[in-house]
Copies of this chain bind each other. A is one copy, B any other.
Amino acid sequence: MLIVSQRAFAIDVIKDAGCGETLFWEGDPCTHVIELRSGIVRGFNISEEGERQVTAFFFACDQIGIPVCTFYRYSAEAVSGVSYISHPRERWCDAMIESYRRDGHLLRTIGAEQDPVFRRGMLIGRNGALARIAAFLTSIADRLEPDGDGLRFPVPQRDIAAYLALTPETVCRSLKRLRELGVIEIRSHDRLIIRDRSRLELAAHSQVGD
């Protein structure tokens, strides 16, 4: 734990969470806002049929669990190792009001948390598994940390499937197809190389059956 900033009566410490660890549960009271410093977090909900849906992925600099309702609307789990800052609700809200007077920045932060949820809706309303995968990859490519000549990509395919409303088998086949097309490369399971970004975006906008 490392102290990064200190104000009167307020100390921000960086905490860590291991792979699979839960940051907060859907339905729990919104007591803290989590500000991610590094790593990837998945937000998910369990439907009434018991099916798990990943509703959002979050990355460094994202703030999640913003108290726009009394209880957290989704559960948050670390996909990889994560470091974060936990802001008590009251302090976060006071900061928001101050921010509103100054530049309105934190008001936009509220919109930012909702953004991946919104984009997921657009994605899974789209035709074709290949298009969904390609669009997903382009949308997160800029948020992934560099790793050698590629990107660090520690997201299990089952999570991608749960996010895109597909089965793991279909995700696997679609990734394979993108590999065969020379668009991407996956040497190790947690490293992604985008070889041809423009063709990836082309695939993202293609209709069913190419």
Q: Which residues of A contact B (CB under 8 A)?
A: 45, 47-49, 51, 53, 55, 67-70, 73, 93, 97, 100, 104, 107-108, 110-111, 114, 117-118, 120-122, 124-126, 165, 205, 207
Q: How far is the CB of A45 from chain B (nearest CB, A)?
A: 7
Q: How far is the CB of A132 from chain B (nearest CB, A)?
A: 11
A140 to B182: give the CA distance in the assembly, Å.
Answer: 46
The answer to whether residues A118 and B73 also contact, given A125-B53, A205-B49 and a CB cut-off of 8 A, is yes
Residue of B nearest to A67 (CB): B107
A118 to B121: give the CA distance in the assembly, Å.
Answer: 8
* Interchain CB contact under 8 A, B125 and A69: no
* Interchain CB contact under 8 A, B93 and A100: yes
A145 to B124: give the CA distance in the assembly, Å.
Answer: 31
The answer to whether residues A124 and B165 also contact, given A68-B110, A107-B67, A117-B118 and a CB cut-off of 8 A, is yes
Residue of B nearest to A118 (CB): B117
* Interchain CB contact under 8 A, B126 and A47: yes
Q: How far is the CB of A114 from chain B (nearest CB, A)?
A: 5
Q: How far is the CB of A82 from chain B (nearest CB, A)?
A: 23
Q: How far is the CB of A141 from chain B (nearest CB, A)?
A: 16
* Interchain CB contact under 8 A, B121 and A70: no
Contacts of A47 in B (CB 8 A): 122, 125-126
Q: How far is the CB of A102 from chain B (nearest CB, A)?
A: 13
Contacts of A69 in B (CB 8 A): 108, 111
Contacts of A122 in B (CB 8 A): 45, 47, 53, 55
Residue of B nearest to A97 (CB): B97
Q: Which of B48, B104, B108, B124 contacts A124 (CB 8 A)?
A: B124
Given A48-B205, A53-B122, A69-B108, 8 more A-B residue pairs with CB atoms under 8 Å apart are A45-B122, A55-B121, A68-B114, A70-B108, A93-B107, A117-B118, A124-B125, A124-B165
A70 to B111: give the CA distance in the assembly, Å.
Answer: 9
Contacts of A55 in B (CB 8 A): 118, 121-122
